[in-house]
Every structure is written in structure tokens, then in C-alpha cells.
């Protein structure tokens, strides 16, 4: 793709020459007049004979005189007319040099020049990257978490953000690897191209700015200039999501709808919620989490989160009361009880019915962290047993919200980061979870208990294995030679083939066909994408099976034989 897209270059030399045109012409004229005057003015030697300075000596004398070095009068002493001309030339040249130097200093301090230099330095930094990298547009709370996780896992990232203060974090956060970053607007295509949008090493684009229009522009630009590149974009409005989908954006995430959907799932399908939590990138211990009870909910704030909760709760037939000082649509007024106020006062919560027996909990969903903390503390004073949910808008307030000991904290940046990291690391996992979600919740609970017994209750390592020459050369070669290899054999321990690894095959994809939870006799084929989960450490053992032909032979047939030249010679000698 890089050969199809011409990355623009902001050239510095033409910019400098345009600004230096007048100073350079002034210097040229000053030198020319000074040299010409010395050549034309007739001098006299010590013997009183007339002479004229040639052009070489005149230029030599003017050059060191203009820099105020002063080597004396050459080739012989000057007369009064020559010295008078030298005085005039000296002042003319010094003034010309001050003019030129002042212009140079002005160019260096010029914000336009500095941006061009920074832009070109950024473009060169990106072009020098050797490893595959992820382009992150936006370095707010979500972007910074993503970059930390990507670089912490040994990956590379490139960052664009318009806020220079946020980009300061790239330099001070102590990231594991160097991250090229540009303070610029991602709405400009040149910036995206400089960041590696058309580079074949770019493996994904993450649009996580706080502006839907900018994220839409990033998604559209990427799909038009580099359609093969996966795009994961944040969008909070229905119109933006629909527009992104029409351009083929791979994944569109609304953190508020994501949270609302997970909140409702925790009430309706607790086992499915445990499964989602168990397989998250940063899984909490689902068994220790207090799940929200069924009942009527008091939602304080008709914000983006409030609207998402209203939509999801109403879709699932759950009752709620809205507490908001803002005007709500007439359709909402008809379907739901709306109380005017913030919810920070006890009288407002009482009016919303907090003391009623069917109220399950209170959700503080405003855009202000102080108001959200005030709401949950007031609700706790009125009814300490209620389930309390608080929205955390500023990541710097995390310690305060933890100290408030609410049952669930909604932080949009963490939700976005976890979802995007899951999609980057294991794109098959969301498809697997969606397929499992269609099953009965009791069946999911039984399945989860079985996995806990085999893999352990700690969050497992989840990854995708592609049966190809890069990731599984031994398995790929054996399948090409006609060998059959099953799921059960894949799960064998390469140290002792009669034992099984603490791992599970979750799904196999072959072209457009997929098998959910394939049986042990399911055979693998070249090109298969296998989704697995395992106890930490088991992945490396399985990797030995599919990459080392000796280990693969032992796991598949139990045969152990030397394969190196020296070991084959020794084995042949023993047989004789």
C-alpha cells in the first residue's frame, strides 16, 4: 500500500529561502558594492606608486572585515580614500549581517517553521519503525491506556493528538518503547499519512478522540486510502455510528451503550456476565463482584450514559425513574417518571421514590464527578443496602471513587481500552462470546464451572492460533504431508503426551465456516484460525508442539527419534 500512497513532505529549504530572500539579496548587494568600491578606488604603495586592489584581495579583505575579525590592510596600507570607503562598507556589512541573523532567529522561533520541522521529524521517526505498529488517534484517558498496554506487551504505537499537554504524557510516563507522536489535528489527511496510515507495517487504526466527527473522518479516510487496515472507532451518537458502518468501519464502540448492555446482562444473565468478566483483558474476580439486583432503578442525569441506560433498561422491560435538571424528550416523559433536580439532595431522591421497597439501586450518571459522589453518598445515607453505581468522568478521580466504595464504577476510558485491546489481541473472542451469549444462561454456568476446574478461576490467557507457516510451521508442514491432527492432540502436554494441558479450544474458523466448542475429534486444516484459552504458561508449551517438528512428532505419534545430523549418526552407530 505504501507504493500507492505518496506521503506528503513539508520541505524546510524552500520555506527558509522564501523568508531569507530579502536578507540574502541585501548581503549580496552590500558585498558587491564594498568589493567594487575597493577595486575602483586607486591606492598608493609605500613608494608612492599608484595601484588598484584586485577582486580576489578585495573580496578577501571585505570578508574578514565584515565579520569584525580584522587582519589588517591588504595587500598594502590604504590611503585616506580607501579607508573612508572601508568605514562605510564596514557599517553597511554589519547592518546587513544583523538583518540576516535577525531574520534567521525569527525563522527558528516562528511557530510555522517549528511545526514543519516537528512534522518532518515525526514522519521520519515513523518511517524508521521496523516492527508492526498501531496508530492511535487521541491521547486522552483511553488513548494513554491503550498505548501503555500496547507498548507494555512489546508492541509499537504511533500517536496523534491536538492537545500538546496530553502528549507530554508520552515523554514522562516511562513507556517501554519509543512512541513517535505528533501534536496535530487528525482531521488533516497529511497528518494521518505521516503517521503511517499507508504503511504496510501499520496493523490497525484506533480512533479514540473525544469528538465523533474527528473519529468519523479518521474511519472514512482509512477505509478510502487503505481498505485492508482494521479500524476501531469510538462513536457516541447514532448518526455517527450509522455513517461509520456505511463506510465499512470494522468495529464501532460506544462506551455508554457497552456499559449499559453489560449492566443489564449482569441482571438478566449473571453467568454470561461472569464469562465476559473472566475472559476480559483485565478481568476482575467475577465471583467476588456484587451483581446488580432486579428492580426499579433511579438514574440521575439524562446524559450520554443516562440515555444509554434508559434505552437498554426499557428494551428489557425494566422500570426506572429519571432525575435530571435538563429537559427530556416528550416521548421519554410519557414512558418514564421524570423528577426535576440533580439527585444530590435527599428531598429529590425521596421524591424519586428511593424509600420504596421495589427500588434496587441508584445510578449517578451526570457529567460532574463531584455531583456523582454526592448522589451516591446521599443515597447511602437514606438506604445503605441499595446497589450504587457512579460514573467517573475524570481518570484522576479514581482514588476518590474507590474510597467511596460504590458497587460499580463506570469509567468510559477503561471500557473503551478493554474492548479495543480485546479486539486487537483476539478478534475472534467477541464473535465467540456473542455466539455463547445466545445459549441458555444455565448452560453457560455449567460450561464456566468446567473451565474453572480445568484452567483455573484466575483470568486465562486467550489467543488465536493461525495454522500457517509463520505461527505453526511444524503443524502446517505435517498437514500438507497428509497427516491428521485433532483438537485432542493439540491439547496434549508436550512433556508427557498422556496428560492434557490446562487449555480449551473455544472455536475454530475455516473460511466462512465456524465450529463453536469443537469436540476432541475435530481435525485441523491448513489456514484454520483456532481460538484458545489456557492457564498462564500453557501457551508456550502448546507453541512448542506446533513449531518444533520433533515435539510435534512425539505429541502426534509418541515417537521420539533424533533429528539432527549428529544425533542421527550416533543413533545409526548404536543400531549397528
Looking at residue 8, its pLDDT comes to: 54
User: Is residue 566 helix, strand or coil?
Assistant: helix
Looking at residue 283, its pLDDT comes to: 47
Provide the residue ranges of all domains of the chain, joining segments of one domain with +: 13-109, 122-253, 257-423, 460-557
Kindly tell me the burial class for residue 1, based on how many C-beta atoms sit within 10 Å of its own C-beta (0-12, 13-18, 19 or more).
middle
> What's the pLDDT band for 125 if we cut at 50, 70, 90?
very high
- To 10 degrees, the CA torsion angle through 49, 54, 60, 65? 50
DSSP labels, 248-294: T-SEEE-HHHHHHHHHHHHHH-HHHHHHHHHTSTT---GGGSPPPPS
Q: What is d(CA 524, CA 183) in angstroms, rounded to the nearest whole number? A: 48
Q: Cell digits for 94?
A: 554589519
Taking residues 112-128, report their average pLDDT.
89
> What's the pLDDT band for 113 if we cut at 50, 70, 90?
confident
pLDDT in tens, 318-364: 999 999 999 899 989 889 999 999 999 999 999 999 999 999 999 99
Looking at residue 475, its pLDDT comes to: 95
Taking residues 190-210, report their average pLDDT.
93
Q: Check if 122-253 and 257-423 are the same fold.
A: yes
Residues in the chain, how many? 576
The backbone region for 517, taken as left when phi is positive above 0, alpha when psi lies in -120 to 50, beta otherwise, is left
Looking at residue 3, its pLDDT comes to: 40
Q: Which residue has the higher pLDDT, 287 or 88?
A: 88
The backbone region for 370, taken as left when phi is positive above 0, alpha when psi lies in -120 to 50, beta otherwise, is alpha
Residue 305 contacts residue 259 (beta carbons within 8 Å)? yes
> What's the pLDDT band for 44 if we cut at 50, 70, 90?
confident
Residue 116 clears pLDDT 70, i.e. is over it: yes
Taking residues 265-290, report their average pLDDT.
76
Taking residues 406-426, report their average pLDDT.
91
Looking at residue 242, its pLDDT comes to: 93
> What's the pLDDT band for 395 if we cut at 50, 70, 90?
confident
Q: DSSP letter at 162?
A: S
Residue 115 clears pLDDT 90, i.e. is over it: no
CATH topology of domain 460-557: Alpha-Beta Plaits (3.30.70)
Taking residues 29-57, report their average pLDDT.
89
In a 13 Å sphere around the CA of 505, the CA atoms on its Cβ side amount to 28
Pick the range with the lowest mean pLDDT from 162-171, 186-195, 565-574: 565-574
Task: Return the sign of the alpha-carbon dihedral for residues 533, 537, 542, 543.
Answer: positive
User: Is residue 109 helix, strand or coil?
Assistant: helix
> What's the pLDDT band for 1 if we cut at 50, 70, 90?
very low
Looking at residue 576, its pLDDT comes to: 57
Residue 11 clears pLDDT 80, i.e. is over it: no
Residue 39 contacts residue 55 (beta carbons within 8 Å)? yes
Q: Which residue has the higher pLDDT, 10 or 142?
A: 142
Average pLDDT, rounded, for the chain: 89
Q: What is d(CA 52, CA 142) in angstroms, rounded to the nearest whole number? A: 76
pLDDT in tens, 363-392: 999 999 999 999 999 999 999 999 999 999
pLDDT in tens, 480-531: 999 999 999 999 999 999 999 999 999 999 998 999 999 999 999 999 999 9
Query: What is the pTM for the complete model shown?
Result: 0.81
Residue 7 clears pLDDT 70, i.e. is over it: no
Looking at residue 371, its pLDDT comes to: 95
Looking at residue 560, its pLDDT comes to: 75
CATH topology of domain 122-253: Rossmann fold (3.40.50)
Pick the range with the lowest mean pLDDT from 142-156, 166-180, 447-461: 166-180
DSSP labels, 435-474: HHHTS-HHHHHHHHHHHHHHH-SSPPEEEEEE-STTT-HH
Residue 565 clears pLDDT 70, i.e. is over it: no
How far is the CA of 355 from the CAs of 272, 338, 349, in angstroms?
31, 17, 8
Could you tell me what percent of the chain has a pLDDT over 70? 94
Give all strands of the β-sheet with 513-516 in edge-to-edge order. 461-466, 529-534, 503-510, 513-516
What phi and psi values does residue 24 have, to the nearest 5 degrees? -65, -40
Domain 257-423: give its CATH code. 3.40.50.720
Pick the range with the lowest mean pLDDT from 171-175, 305-309, 324-328, 451-455: 171-175
Residue 449 clears pLDDT 90, i.e. is over it: yes
> CA triplet 128, 133, 134: central angle to 5 degrees?
135
Query: What's 13-109's CATH class?
Result: mainly alpha
Q: Which is nearest to 466 in space by CA: 549, 527, 533, 425?
A: 527
Where is 524: in which H helix or E strand?
none
pLDDT in tens, 454-475: 998 888 999 999 999 999 999 9
> What's the pLDDT band for 6 if we cut at 50, 70, 90?
very low
Looking at residue 35, its pLDDT comes to: 94
Amino acid at each position: 500500500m505504501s507504493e500507492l500512497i505518496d506521503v506528503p513532505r513539508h520541505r524546510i529549504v524552500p520555506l527558509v529561502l522564501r523568508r531569507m530572500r530579502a536578507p540574502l539579496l541585501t548581503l549580496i548587494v552590500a558585498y558587491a558594492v564594498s568589493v567594487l568600491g575597493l577595486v575602483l578606488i586607486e591606492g598608493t604603495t609605500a613608494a608612492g606608486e599608484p595601484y588598484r586592489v584586485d577582486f580576489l584581495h578585495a573580496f578577501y579583505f571585505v570578508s574578514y572585515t565584515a565579520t569584525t575579525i580584522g587582519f589588517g590592510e591588504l595587500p598594502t596600507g590604504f590611503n585616506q580614500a580607501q579607508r573612508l570607503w572601508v568605514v562605510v562598507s564596514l557599517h553597511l556589512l554589519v547592518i546587513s549581517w544583523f538583518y540576516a541573523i535577525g531574520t534567521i532567529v525569527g525563522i527558528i522561533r516562528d511557530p510555522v517553521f517549528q511545526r514543519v520541522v516537528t512534522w518532518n521529524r515525526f514522519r521520519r521517526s515513523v518511517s524508521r519503525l521496523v516492527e508492526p505498529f498501531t496508530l492511535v488517534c487521541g491521547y486522552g484517558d483511553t488513548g494513554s491506556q491503550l498505548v501503555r498496554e500496547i507498548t507494555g506487551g512489546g508492541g509499537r504505537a504511533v500517536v496523534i493528538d491536538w492537545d500538546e499537554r496530553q502528549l507530554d504524557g508520552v515523554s514522562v510516563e516511562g513507556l517501554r518503547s519509543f512512541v513517535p507522536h505528533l501534536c496535530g489535528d487528525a482531521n488533516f489527511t497529511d497528518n494521518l499519512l505521516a503517521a503511517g496510515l499507508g504503511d504496510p507495517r501499520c496493523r490497525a487504526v484506533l480512533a479514540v478522540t473525544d469528538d465523533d466527527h474527528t473519529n468519523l473522518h479518521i474511519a472514512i479516510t482509512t477505509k478510502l486510502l487503505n481498505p485492508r487496515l482494521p479500524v476501531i472507532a469510538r462513536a457516541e451518537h447514532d448518526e455517527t455510528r450509522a455513517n461509520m458502518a456505511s463506510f465499512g468501519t470494522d468495529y464501532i464502540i460506544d462506551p455508554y451503550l457497552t456499559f449499559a448492555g453489560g449492566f443489564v446482562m449482569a441482571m438478566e444473565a449473571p453467568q454470561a456476565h461472569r464469562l465476559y468478566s473472566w475472559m476480559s483483558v483485565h478481568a476482575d474476580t467475577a465471583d467476588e463482584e456484587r451483581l446488580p439486583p432486579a428492580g426499579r432503578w433511579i438514574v440521575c442525569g439524562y446524559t450520554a450514559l443516562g440515555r444509554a441506560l434508559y434505552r437498554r433498561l426499557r428494551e428489557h422491560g425494566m422500570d426506572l425513574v429519571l432525575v435530571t435538571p435538563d429537559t427530556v424528550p416528550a416521548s421519554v416523559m410519557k414512558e418514564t417518571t421524570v423528577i426535576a433536580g440533580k439527585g444530590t439532595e435527599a428531598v429529590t431522591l425521596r421524591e424519586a421514590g428511593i424509600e420504596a421497597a421495589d427500588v434496587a439501586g441508584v445510578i449517578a450518571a451526570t457529567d460532574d464527578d463531584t455531583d456523582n459522589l454526592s448522589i451516591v453518598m446521599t443515597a447511602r445515607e437514606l438506604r445503605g443496602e441499595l446497589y450504587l453505581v457512579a460514573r467517573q468522568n475524570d481518570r484522576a478521580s479514581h482514588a476518590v471513587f474507590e474510597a467511596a466504595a460504590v458497587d460499580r464504577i463506570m469509567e468510559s476510558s477503561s471500557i473503551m481500552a478493554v474492548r479495543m485491546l480485546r479486539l486487537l489481541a483476539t478478534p475472534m473472542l467477541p464473535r465467540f462470546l456473542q455466539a455463547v451469549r445466545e445459549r441458555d444462561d444455565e448452560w453457560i454456568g455449567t460450561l464456566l464451572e468446567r473451565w474453572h476446574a480445568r484452567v483455573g478461576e484466575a483470568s486465562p490467557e486467550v489467543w488465536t492460533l493461525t495454522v500457517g507457516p509463520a505461527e505453526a510451521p511444524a503443524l502446517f508442514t505435517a498437514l500438507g504431508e497428509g497427516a491428521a491432527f485433532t483438537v485432542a492432540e493439540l491439547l496434549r502436554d508436550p512433556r508427557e503426551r498422556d496428560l492434557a494441558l490446562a487449555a480449551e479450544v473455544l472455536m475454530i474458523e475455516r473460511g466462512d465456516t465456524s465450529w463453536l466448542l469443537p469436540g476432541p475429534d475435530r481435525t485441523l486444516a491448513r489456514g484454520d484460525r483456532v481460538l484458545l484459552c489456557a492457564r498462564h504458561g500453557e501457551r508456550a508449551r502448546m507453541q512448542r508442539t506446533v513449531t518444533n517438528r520433533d515435539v510435534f512428532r512425539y505429541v502426534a505419534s509418541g515417537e521420539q527419534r533424533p533429528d539432527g545430523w549428529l544425533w542421527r549418526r550416533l543413533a545409526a552407530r548404536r543400531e549397528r
